[in-house]
Amino acid sequence: MSDTTAPVIEIRNLHKSYGALEVLKGVDLVANKGDVVSLIGSSGSGKSTLLRCANLLEDSQEGEILFDGAPVKWRGAGLDRHPADKDQIIAIRTNLSMVFQQFNLWAHMTILQNVMEAPVTVLKQDPEEVEERARMLLDKVGIGDKCDVYPAQLSGGQQQRAAIARALAMEPQALLFDEPTSALDPELEQEVVKVIKDLAKEGRTMLLVTHDMKLAADVSDLVVFLHQGKLEEQGPPKELFGNPKSERLKQFLSAGSGE
């Protein structure tokens, strides 16, 4: 990784299509170390796609993605463009841990095993050290007493907190959250919101796709409003929510929902 002063994640003029459907139409985004950047917008605006492109879970067709100042290496062009360096892909995914909407925990593993799996198998870390860290992280997210149970035995909120602990176990440079509370009922949602707020207070770098405007307002350094695949407006939460400039953002906020 090349430059400690460079943004953790920088996206320049990113385009993403699914066949003829263009989902991202030239998006720019910067997340510096310690920044919490929230992506808001209606369904279909491209916010989750942008997150998946940043983590190289999706291939983009044009534009640059830089991690710690180092650009992703590509081969091919347009719909045939793919990352060229497998080691670089692994390094980026290791350093950008993703928390999904639907938890994605391994059903056949205990919660402790879920949190330990990637550091042991991908990073080849010592299992005893990983277990100690995993137990500490499960305590941190408030489910230290659930180490030996399976995902199906937990509530949705507990499963999502386990997924956050699993992401933290990789000791990533940034956390990517894709609608982490939208599959939860309001009471369980607050359990997860508290964990995300605590992580923000620690100064962790985070990209957060959310429909929860209060969460975005409370934790973000920067809020980015996407509309039809373009960056419509961005700014500090106080400014963006308190004095929106674009008509589309005013309509979106007055509707009161990201869905």
Q: What is the DSSP string of 212-237?
A: -HHHHHHH-SEEEEEETTEEEEEE-H
What's the half-sphere exposure (Cβ side, CA atoms, 13 Å) at 190?
2
Query: From its phi and psi, is residue 203 left (phi > 0), alpha (psi between -120 and 50) or beta?
Result: left
pLDDT tens-place values along the chain, 259 residues long: 445 578 999 999 999 999 889 999 999 999 999 999 999 999 999 999 999 999 999 999 999 999 999 999 999 999 999 999 999 999 999 999 999 988 899 999 999 999 999 999 999 999 999 999 999 999 999 999 999 999 999 999 999 999 999 999 999 999 999 999 988 998 899 999 999 999 999 999 999 999 999 999 999 999 999 999 999 999 999 999 999 999 999 999 998 744 4
Check if CATH label 3.30.390.50 holds for domain 9-255.
Answer: no
Please state whether beta strands 62-67 and 70-71 pair in parallel, antiparallel, or not at all (unpaired). antiparallel
Nearest to 239 by CA among 212, 259, 207, 217: 217
Report CA-CA distances (Å) from 152 to 115, 135, 162. 15, 19, 12
Separation CA 89–CA 119 (nearest Å):
16
What is the Rg, in whole angstroms, of the alpha carbon atoms belonging to the chain?
18
Query: What does the domain layout of the chain look like in residue ranges?
Result: 9-255
pTM confidence score: 0.92
H/E stretch holding 14 reads: strand 9-18
